[in-house]
Amino acid sequence: MDGERLFCGTALAERIERADAQFVAACADATRLRLGGGPGFTRSLAGGVATFAEPDSPFTKVAGLGFAGLPGSAELDEVEAAFAELGAPVQVELSQLAEAGTGAFFTARGYRLESYENVLGRRLERGSFPGDVRACRDDELETWLSAVAEATAVPDEQGLPSHEDFPRELLVNALRDMAGVRRYLAERDGEFAGGASFRVTDGIAQFSGAATLPAHRRRGVQTALLRARLAAAAEAGCDLAVVTTQPGSKSQQNVQRQGFDLLYARAILVKGTSATSSSGADRRQAS
C-alpha cells in the first residue's frame, strides 16, 4: 500500500494470482459436481493451477502461475496432453508481473498472444450499502442467473471487444458454478436491473459476474452494485477488493471511478483452438 494509491509489486500480484487460482479450481470442481463427475481435472502447475471443467468453459484454463519458477517441460507436456485428449486448447492467463522469462517460455512452445485483461484493486473501508441493491435470495437464483447471462451476452461497446463468445446456456452454467460467491441484485422501478457477485479468498474480495440489462445501462446500476459489494466485503473483513475487466471498457471506467487502481495486465496465451473463441478468451464482465 502506498499513500492514497494502491501500489502493486510482485508480492501483491502473487497473492492475487494465488487467490484467482483457488477460485478457478473451486469453480471447476463445482462444474464437475454439477455434471456428476466426468473427464475433467484440476492439477497444480508451477504455483498455479490447470483445470478442465467442461468443454469451452471459462474455468477450463491455466491460472495463477508465474511466481514459483517455470513449469518443468515434462510437467507441461502432461498438462498439454490432458487438454488435447479432451479436445480443448490450453489457455494460460499470465500476469504482467510474473517472473522474467515466463512469457518467452510459453511462446517458444507455440503459444500465441490472443488478448489482455486488466486487474484492478483497492483497499477497503467501511461504507454504506445502497438502498436499491440487496442480496439475492435462494428462491431468486434462477432469475439472477438468467438475467445476468442475458445482460452479459450484450456487451458494452466501449473499449476492446471481448475475445470470447459463449452460448447462453454455457454462461448460465458458468455463473451457477462460481463457487462460494455472494450474489446481489439491483432494481430500478421495481424491475431487475443488474446483478453482481463477489467471493472472499484469503482476505481478498474477488468481484465477478457483474452485468446490467441493456435497458438499465447508464443509470448508475453498476456503481450501486460496486458500492454494495465494497461495503459487504469490508464487513466480511477483507482488506482488498480485486476486479478483472476488459482494457478500456466501461467496466474499467466504472471501477476506477470507485477508487480502484490499475494493478497489472494479464496476457492471454493460447495453444490450440476452441469452438467458442475465434481469437481467445475474456471470461467475464467483472465490475
Nearby residues of 172 by Cβ (< 8 Å), 6 or more positions away: 145, 146, 149
Vertex 248 angle, CA 246 and 249, to 5°: 60
Nearby residues of 164 by Cβ (< 8 Å), 6 or more positions away: 58, 276, 277, 280, 281, 282, 283
Residues 23-78: pLDDT tens digits?
999 999 999 999 998 889 999 999 999 999 999 999 999 999 999 999 999 999 99
Quote the pLDDT of residue 284.
39
Residues 241-258: pLDDT tens digits?
999 999 999 889 999 999
Average confidence (pLDDT) over 262-272: 97
Q: N- to C-terminal Cα distance for the chain?
A: 22
Per DSSP, the three-state class of 21 is helix
Per DSSP, the three-state class of 87 is coil
* pTM across the whole model: 0.91
Q: Which region among 203-207, 216-220, 229-233 has the lowest average model confidence (pLDDT)?
A: 216-220
